[in-house]
């Protein structure tokens, strides 16, 4: 039997177009051992929910970044109102510290969201 050529191997290589060319490995259903895609929410044969993997870090990153941006925006507006638009080092440090604080709150909120959604 001959070895397959590169062109023949390319026919059988599957890549998801929605995942920007990354291969999506199959996962096994913990209930019925059926093979499912990692992006599936429920098993195709037993219809039970599949455990979600890898979304916790995404959720935490998005919420902490969002909270940090909101913190910068809010503190910048508050600082400009109290200093009549002047820019000083104390104001910049205050805005940065509040952004870090808001980001820390965003991390906690992200973990709570991930826990509630079972991500």
Quote the pTM value.
0.56
Residues 39 and 85 in one domain: no
Residues 110 and 62 in one domain: yes
Residues 37 and 87 in one domain: no
pLDDT of residue 3: 65
Quick: pLDDT tens for 63-102: 999 999 999 998 888 888 887 766 688 888 888 898 999 9
26 backbone dihedrals φ, ψ, rounded to 5°:
-75, 155
DSSP letter assigned to residue 41:
S
Give the chain's domain count. 2
Quick: pLDDT tens for 19-67: 555 566 778 888 888 888 777 888 888 888 887 666 788 889 999 999 9
pLDDT of residue 36: 83
Distance separating alpha carbons of residues 118 and 113, to the nearest angstrom: 8
Residues 43 and 64 in one domain: no
Please check whether residue 103 lies inside any domain of the structure: yes
Please check whether residue 40 lies inside any domain of the structure: yes
Cα distances (angstroms) measured from residue 100 to each of 67, 72, 112: 9, 9, 19
**Strand, helix or coil for residue 27:** strand
Chain Cα centroid distance, residue 40: 17
pLDDT of residue 45: 85
Distance separating alpha carbons of residues 56 and 102, to the nearest angstrom: 19
Q: Identify the domain containing residue 23 by its residue range.
A: 11-51
- Tallying the residues shown for the chain, one arrives at 119
pLDDT of residue 75: 87
Residue 38 near residue 28 (C-beta atoms within 8 A): no
pLDDT of residue 47: 87
Checking if the pLDDT of 12 tops 60, the result is no
DSSP letter assigned to residue 26:
E
72 backbone dihedrals φ, ψ, rounded to 5°:
-65, -45
**Strand, helix or coil for residue 35:** strand
């Amino acid at each position: 039997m001959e070895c397959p050529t590169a062109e023949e191997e390319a026919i059988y290589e599957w890549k998801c177009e929605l995942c920007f060319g990354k291969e999506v490995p199959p996962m096994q259903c913990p209930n019925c051992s059926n093979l499912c895609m990692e992006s599936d929410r429920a098993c195709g044969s037993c219809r039970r929910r599949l455990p979600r993997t890898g979304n916790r870090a995404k959720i935490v990153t998005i919420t902490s970044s969002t909270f940090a941006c909101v913190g910068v925006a809010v503190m910048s507006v508050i600082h400009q109102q109290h200093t009549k638009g002047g820019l000083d080092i104390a104001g910049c440090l205050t805005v940065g510290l509040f952004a870090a604080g808001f980001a820390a709150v965003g991390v906690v909120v992200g973990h709570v969201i991930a826990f509630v959604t079972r991500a």
